[in-house]
Structure 1
Amino acid sequence: MIPWSEGRWLNPPPGVRPDGDDLLVTAAEGSDFWRTTGYGFVHDDGHALLAGFPPGSALEVAFALDYTEQFDQAGLLVRVDERNWVKAGVEHSDGAPQLGAVVTRDHSDWSLAPVPEWAGREVTIRASRSGDAVTFRARVADGPWRMFRLAPLAPDAAATAGPYVCAPTRAGLTVRFTSLTATAPDQSLH
């Protein structure tokens, strides 16, 4: 386990409160990470608690999936700079939780897969950095890992990573993060 105090906030949220070993994070209304594609706007005001993410490492973030408003989201952000980053987690979209990722290299893309059975449970997102890529996996509770995205990340890029939360359409979203863990990177894609 990594202590929450080891990270530094990118865009400090309006509310952060320890609760035992958990960290409760309240997002600002209108917060998000997105660049241009499809919508024509740039948002770089989501909240992320970031620490170093060197080559050959992996990071896991766990949180309670108990949010239900359109575009509420939480997960793990890997960031090089404001034009190069990946957010991977669960976003509430079209009435259901959706496992997804936004990969940004000057312009954002977005992929989603519905996971309605994950509602109300603990979700863990893992990012494994190896070679020229970062692999994202997710699971609910102690279920099996599910690979959902492979994204480019230059071997020499100075990256940071950690939990993120955004509330693009409302005020009052608070997410309970339950753990932040450094681990060995995955040895294979499958």
Structure 2
Amino acid sequence: MTAAAESDAWRHTSYGFVHDTENALIAPFSPGWAMEVEYTAAFSELFDQAGLFIRARDDVWVKAATEFSDGQLSAGAVVTHGRSDWSLSPASDWLGKRVLIRASWSGGAITIRGGIAGEPLRLLRVLPFEDADSVEAGPLVCAPTRAGLVVPFHAWRVTAADASLHGQ
């Protein structure tokens, strides 16, 4: 996927602006299911990002992704209910590697996990997410500060939701 220049998803918090220009290929997503994407996280510019986008409405969505910021690759999520929040943790060892991001929806929550494809995934976020009509999800790329970001995606899957929060 190629990111459009200055593309991003964000609403209000801290920066004061609304960006609804993410590049996402989305399909129906329902409770009881998980969605995964695999891609190569070869980023070099500020805020280069790729991962999984989940949209219920224009002002209710989740971006679960890896992102290059402050000189390193991080993994995390932006959760938006009118206003966005942002959580991340270092994932420098994922840079240049094939990454898997997984969102599992069950019990009124979405559990986000990520890691290097083929290795154990780590828990990135658990967030409340109620059933809603027309929820869609799929691969995402954004390049808020430049043009020309191309991210190779290797897989996009829908599987059964995780059986439990722990023991994955």
TM-score band w.r.t. shorter chain: over 0.9
Amino acid in the other structure paired with 2:82: D
Unaligned 5+ runs, structure 1: 1-24
For residues 17-96 of structure 1, the aligned pairs below 5 Å read 25-96=1-72
Secondary structure of the 2:5 match is coil
Helix, strand or coil: the match of 1:117? helix
In structure 2, list runs of 5 or more residues that go unmatched.
none
How many pairs are equivalent? 166
Q: Which residue of 2 aligns with 1:20?
A: none
C-alpha deviation, 1:27, in angstroms = 0.8
Q: Give the 5 Å matches for 1:58-137.
A: 58-137=34-113
Letter of the structure 2 residue corresponding to residue 114 of structure 1: P
Once the two structures are TM-superposed, the CA of residue 101 in structure 1 deviates from its matched residue by: 0.3
Q: CA deviation at 1:67?
A: 1.3
What are the superposed Cα offsets for residues 5-58 of structure 1, whole Å, 9 maximum, x if unpaired?
xxxxxxxxxxxxxxxxxxxx1111110000000000000011100000011111
RMSD: 0.8
Q: Distance in 2 between matches of 1:139 and 1:117?
A: 10
Local SS of the residue matching 1:101: strand
Cα separation, 1, equivalents of 2:132 and 2:155: 28
* Structure 1 moving runs of 4+ over 3 Å: none
- How far 1:110 sits from its partner (Å)? 0.2
1:171 and 2:153 equivalent? no
- Distance in 2 (CA, whole Å) between partners of 1:163 and 1:77 is 6
Give the Cα separation in 2 of the matches to 1:38 and 1:68. Answer: 24
TM superposition score normalised by structure 1: 0.85
